[in-house]
Amino acid sequence: MQAVREITKWDTDTNCNHTYLLDGDKMVAYIKFGDTVPFYFKSPIRIDKRGRKFLDLVANPFDIINTPVETFIIKVQGSKGETYTVNTEERTCTCPGFTFRGACKHTKDLE
């Protein structure tokens, strides 16, 4: 059994990268992005990996499901020297402006 998390960059704004539980080239279950409960198929189905990127989960997949992949996380310095974390995939920021208004200059630069 192998657990992989899809890290494909799609052209759409919606995140459809899920975590998959595989047995060889067949998918036994998947965990929808943002969820922690696996959906098991009645019988395994074949998964086509062409044109898609996956990250092998070496630890227990239920411990690290849907944590941001480091390539999507960047650190930015605020105008007063504070350091904030920006998730470029979800377009979120830890700065007070984003927390207060849901938008900030750090995420605007991603557009």
Per residue in 18-54, pLDDT tens?
888 888 889 999 888 877 788 888 899 998 888 888 8
**pLDDT at position 80:** 84
Burial letters 19-34, b for 16+ CB under 10 A, else e:
bbbbeeeebbbbbbbe
Contact 8, 52 (CB under 8 A): yes
* Entry pTM: 0.48
- Is residue 64's pLDDT more than 50? no
- Is residue 63's pLDDT more than 70? no
Contact 61, 19 (CB under 8 A): yes
Q: CA nearest 87: which of 102, 105, 72? A: 72
Please state, as a whole number, how many other Cβ atoms lie within 10 Å of the Cβ of residue 76.
17
Per residue in 1-28, pLDDT tens?
788 888 888 777 666 788 888 888 899 9
**pLDDT at position 66:** 52
**pLDDT at position 87:** 81
Largest CA distance in the chain: 56
* Cα–Cα distance, 81 to 45 (Å, whole number): 51
